């Protein structure tokens, strides 16, 4: 941004961070040329939370950055209280920036007597005072429709394209873990000029999946296994077992949300075919989870630019998850 734009944005903007990912919040604030405003979060003896915004927000554009990472319930409640505090203090607009919206997995009523939590949380955000939501790579794209307030569904697609275009991809194929996520993988494949295959996946539990086969020819190919998130690593383990049968020796994992919960890191460490893991910083990845072959791309410029365009009344369409990629090329033969 120019100095004039930075000054214009800084005059109207107040950026606050919740407890989940202050490092990313600092990066986003730095991109916008604004300081990160102080906040105070305490826990009373009865386990109630106390949240205070440390700077006046009257008549200002307020941005609150909070990813839904463990402890998710605490971070969710903290965000709701910050939204309510900003609205009650006469903020002009309150933007909830949620890089990882974990409840996007809860998108349908597939069992009796359960909550569609993705919709419930979206309703709570509006009730608490958010006037705009910004998130990235929802696990189920239809969750975007759960929000009854303006919502920008962003993508890290461009960061992955820039990363992978630096290498020779002549023998490479993109593999989606299942048909449901083939659309995202197809967009990446077109941008890189390679072909695509997909796993035939059946989920058995939160940590167990079964891959019944792979649709497409992956024999002796170098594979980029592309998904929106990696949590327990169960899907990766299952699909690599199928790739191994097809003489695949080099697998690169690529995911937007590197959750790596439970024993996922050890699980991935033990798979010899994995030569690289490429993820982003939508969730914090502590040193103990960073394997030597892991690359973490920053999404701060994407969120920073989307916030800037919102404030300046400019289109953010090109940053959306399913926006057409004008640089896509035809697949290699």
Q: What is the CATH number of the domain that holds 171?
A: 3.40.50.2020
Domain check: are 138 and 174 in the same one?
A: no
186 Cβ contact list (under 8 Å, min separation 6):
174, 176, 196
Whole-model pTM: value is: 0.92
User: Residue 144 phi/psi, 5° resolution?
Assistant: -55, -35
Range of the domain at 34: 3-155+300-319
Domain check: are 170 and 145 in the same one?
A: no
* pLDDT recorded at residue 34: 94
Domain check: are 225 and 129 in the same one?
A: no
Domain check: are 144 and 42 in the same one?
A: yes
Domain check: are 17 and 139 in the same one?
A: yes
Domain check: are 284 and 307 in the same one?
A: no
Residues found in the chain:
333
Domain check: are 118 and 95 in the same one?
A: yes
Maximum Cα interatomic distance, the chain, rounded to a whole number of Å: 65
* Distance separating alpha carbons of residues 90 and 83, to the nearest angstrom: 11
Is the dihedral angle over the CA atoms 263, 264, 265, 270 positive or is it negative? Answer: positive
Q: Which of 55, 76, 205 is nearest to 130 (CA)?
A: 76
Q: Is position 245 annotated as part of the catalytic site? A: no
Domain check: are 65 and 114 in the same one?
A: yes
- With respect to residue 327, please indicate whether it lies within any of the assigned structural domains: no
Report DSSP state, residue 102. G
- Of 18-32, 80-94, 99-113, the poorest mean pLDDT is in 99-113
* pLDDT recorded at residue 211: 73
**What percent of the chain is modeled with pLDDT above 90?**
77
Domain check: are 116 and 17 in the same one?
A: yes
The CA dihedral of 199, 202, 204, 206, to the nearest 10 degrees, is 50
* Distance separating alpha carbons of residues 170 and 166, to the nearest angstrom: 12
- With respect to residue 111, please indicate whether it lies within any of the assigned structural domains: yes
282: three-class secondary structure by DSSP:
coil
Average pLDDT, the chain: 91
- With respect to residue 143, please indicate whether it lies within any of the assigned structural domains: yes
Domain check: are 142 and 167 in the same one?
A: no
Could you give the number of structural domains in the chain?
2
Domain check: are 174 and 287 in the same one?
A: yes
Domain check: are 59 and 179 in the same one?
A: no
Catalytic: which of 7, 26, 60, 201? Answer: 201
User: Which residues partner with 250 through β-bridges?
Assistant: 222
Checking if the pLDDT of 144 tops 90, the result is yes
Show the tokens assigned to 268.
């991935």
Show the tokens assigned to 182.
């083939």
């Amino acid at each position: 941004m120019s100095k004039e734009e930075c000054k214009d944005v800084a005059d109207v903007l107040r950026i606050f961070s919740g407890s989940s990912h202050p490092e990313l919040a600092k990066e986003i604030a730095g991109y916008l040329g604004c300081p990160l405003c102080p906040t105070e979060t305490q826990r009373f003896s009865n386990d109630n939370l106390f949240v205070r915004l440390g700077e006046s927000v009257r008549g200002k554009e307020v941005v609150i950055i909070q990813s839904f990472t463990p402890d998710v319930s605490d971070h969710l409640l903290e965000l709701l209280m910050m939204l309510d505090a900003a609205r009650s203090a006469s903020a002009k607009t309150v933007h909830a920036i949620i890089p990882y919206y974990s409840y996007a997995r809860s998108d349908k009523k597939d069992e009796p007597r359960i909550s569609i939590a993705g919709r419930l949380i979206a309703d709570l955000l509006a009730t608490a005072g958010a006037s705009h939501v910004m998130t990235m790579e929802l696990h189920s794209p239809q969750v975007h429709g759960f929000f009854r307030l303006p919502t920008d569904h962003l993508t890290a697609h461009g960061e992955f394209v820039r990363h992978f275009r630096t290498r020779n991809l002549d023998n490479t194929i993109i593999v989606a873990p299942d048909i449901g996520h083939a659309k995202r993988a197809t967009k990446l494949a077109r941008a890189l000029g390679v072909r695509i295959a997909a796993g035939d996946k059946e989920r058995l539990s939160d940590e167990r999946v079964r891959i019944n086969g792979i649709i497409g020819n992956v024999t002796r190919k170098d594979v980029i296994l592309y998904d929106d998130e990696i949590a327990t690593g169960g899907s990766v383990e299952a699909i690599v077992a199928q790739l191994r049968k097809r003489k695949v020796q080099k697998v690169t994992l690529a995911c937007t949300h590197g959750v790596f919960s439970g024993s996922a890191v050890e699980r991935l460490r033990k798979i010899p075919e994995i030569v690289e893991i490429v993820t982003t910083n939508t969730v914090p990845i502590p040193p103990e989870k960073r394997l030597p072959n892991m690359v973490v791309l920053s999404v701060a410029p994407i969120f920073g630019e989307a916030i800037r365009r919102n404030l300046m009344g400019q289109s953010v369409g090109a940053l959306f998850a399913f926006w057409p990629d004008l640089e896509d090329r035809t697949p290699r033969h």
